[in-house]
Structure 1
């Protein structure tokens, strides 16, 4: 028997995917994922790069998907859109909890706390205050395949766009983080990621068409289409 039926906020990034996986492993039942499509790149709460492919990416999990489109990017409007998504999850899938990938941001955490209080839900925060090195080691142990889809920090140039985060590239990122002072878990918007494969996925994400955009300061690895490939896992 599952401990709690929950909805997972899904951005496709390492934090949202890892938090959902951790919640499932804790014995909770993932009933659906909620995707919030922000109006533009100035969103305070949601990932903008490649949001147009997220429904297809979320298909790799194999659960129902709720999509909400933001018409404005101010805090109040974005929170209202989250209310809308959660309300649908409650009505359609009888969820009793909400999972998010927040790590250190008190701003985001306070919003999520108010949201679940409004709906009398349990807040699942499996990554809250996790040590960065322990976190990455866990991702590697679980064979997460993670690529960088956006960079916006001093020290991160266009060569990082589309690059996979591995123990070797993490070492390089750590050195740059120490030199330039950006947050290595990227929660402050220094970079954004997309999970291509992990234990939560039933299928692997493969990029079919993409291009890098760089304005001299920041850039986006824009993916126009992806393909889902069956993952062959050993039962041993």
Structure 2
């Protein structure tokens, strides 16, 4: 299937692209939605401008779409970005557990007649990490924003001992 990927540059969207390629899909483009709202429930914003370099290193087309990050209106911006990528049959998303994100992305793909490919949706988190590490991914903590992780985690590469 010919696909484009919603791409934040983080481990989940990157691993979803990797998985799709491994399964024989053709990934043509990465779509990064840049929210002006740091509290956006839909789109990650830290370091998203670096996704252009990731797309370039993968030899893929890259689409930036700005959004003010206003609830529900940001979906119109997502739809605009996806609509701009011609010839695709579906969209890859790296979502794991957010029903809020999944339902909205699925709504956009359904409205455009596209498949919504979310390869690790609702996977057990330990199983997910096992798959990432077995695939040889090196995941580095570049930001902390939750309880249990402090600045001591910054720069740490996650491995089987983390």
Above 0.5 in TM-score? yes
Partner of 2:133: 140
Contact preservation (8 Å) 1:44, 1:74:
no
1:21 corresponds, among 8, 18, 24, to 18
What pairs with 1:75-154 in structure 2 (closer than 5 Å)? 75-90=71-86, 94-154=87-147
Q: Between Structure 1 and Structure 2, how many residues are aligned? A: 162
Q: Deviations over 1:26-77 (max 9, x none)?
A: 221101110111113212111111122221122221111111112x121222
Equivalences for residues 24-43 of structure 1 within 5 A = 24-43=21-40
Distance 2:69 2:112 in 1: 23
List gaps (5 residues or longer) in structure 1. 170-236
Greater Cα offset, 51-60 or 34-43: 51-60
Unaligned runs of 5+ in 2: none
Cα distance in 1, alignment partners of residues 128 and 48 from structure 2: 24
Residues 49 and 149 in structure 1, CA contact (< 8 A), matched pair in contact too: no
After TM superposition, the runs of 4+ consecutive aligned structure 1 residues lying more than 4 A away are none
* Distance of 1:8 and 1:55 partners within structure 2: 13
1:154-182 deviations in whole A, cap 9, x for unaligned? Answer: 2211111222111112xxxxxxxxxxxxx
SS at match of 2:106: helix
Corresponding residue SS for 2:32: strand
Larger radius of gyration: 1
Equivalent residues of 1:151, 1:161 under 8 A apart? yes
Higher strand share: 1
* Match in the other structure for 2:8: 11
What is the CA–CA distance in structure 2 between the aligned matches of 1:155 and 1:103, rounded to whole Å?
20
What SS does structure 1 have at the residue aligned with 2:53? helix
* Aligned partners of 1:12 and 1:58 also within 8 Å: no
Q: Tell me the secondary structure at the aligned position of residue 57 of structure 2.
A: coil
Q: Secondary structure at the match of 2:158?
A: coil
Task: Give the distance between the partners of 1:35 and 1:159, measured in 2 at CA.
Answer: 29
| 1:163 match | 156
- Establish whether residue 48 from structure 1 lines up as the match of residue 45 from structure 2: yes
Shift of 1:153: 1.5
